Copies of this chain bind each other. A is one copy, B any other.
Amino acid sequence: MVGGGPGAFIGGSHRIAMRLDDRYQLVAGVFSRDRDKSLAAAREFGISEDRVYPDYETMATREAEREDGVDAVAIVTPTDSHYKIAKRLLEAGLNVICDKPLCLTVAEAKELLTLAEKGGLILCLTHNYSGYAMVRHAARLVRNGSLGEIKIVQVEHASGWAAKLLEKQGHTQAAWRMDPALGGEASVLYDLGTHAHQLARFITGLEISEVAAELSKVVAGRAINDNANLLLRFTNGARGTLWASMAAVGNEHGLRIRVYGDRGSVCWNQEDPHHLLFSPIDGPPQILAQGAEWLSADAARWTRAGLGHPEGFFEAFANLYTEVADALLAKAEGRPVAKAELGFPDASDGVKGVAFVEAAMRSYAAGGVWTALETN
Contact = CB atoms under 8 A, between A and B. Distances in A.
Interface of A: 9, 12-13, 15-16, 19-22, 45-46, 151-152, 154, 159-161, 163-164, 212, 214, 216, 218-220, 227, 229, 231, 233, 237-241, 243, 245, 247-255, 260-265, 267, 270-274, 277-281, 283-289, 291-292, 294, 304-315, 367-370
A234 to B, nearest CB: 10
A229 B248 contact: no
A171 B312 CA distance: 27
A227 B152 contact: yes
A292 B285 CA distance: 10
A305 B294 contact: no
Copies in the complex: 4
Between A46, A160, A249, the greatest number of chain B beta carbons within 10 A of the residue's beta carbon is seen for A249
B220 A262 contact: yes
A222 B12 CA distance: 47
A267 B294 CA distance: 21
Nearest to A22: B19
A16 B20 contact: yes
Between A13, A154, A220, the greatest number of chain B beta carbons within 10 A of the residue's beta carbon is seen for A154
A5 B187 CA distance: 48
A240 B249 contact: no
A310 B313 contact: yes
B305 A279 contact: no
A310 B271 contact: yes
Contacts of A9: 305-306
A236 to B, nearest CB: 11
27 contacts: A16-B21, A22-B46, A151-B218, A152-B227, A159-B308, A163-B281, A164-B281, A214-B239, A216-B237, A241-B241, A248-B265, A249-B263, A249-B279, A250-B264, A250-B267, A252-B289, A252-B308, A253-B307, A253-B309, A271-B310, A285-B286, A285-B289, A310-B310, A311-B313, A312-B315, A367-B369, A368-B370
A262 to B, nearest CB: 6
Contacts of A267: 250
Contacts of A245: 152
A236 B240 CA distance: 26
A270 B311 CA distance: 11
Contacts of A310: 270-273, 310, 312-313
B312 A262 contact: no
Nearest to A275: B271
A250 B285 contact: yes
Nearest to A20: B16
Contacts of A370: 367-368
A368 B313 contact: no
A314 B305 contact: yes
B284 A265 contact: no
Given A22-B46, A151-B218, A311-B314, 10 more contacts: A154-B243, A218-B262, A249-B260, A250-B280, A252-B289, A273-B310, A311-B313, A314-B314, A367-B370, A369-B369
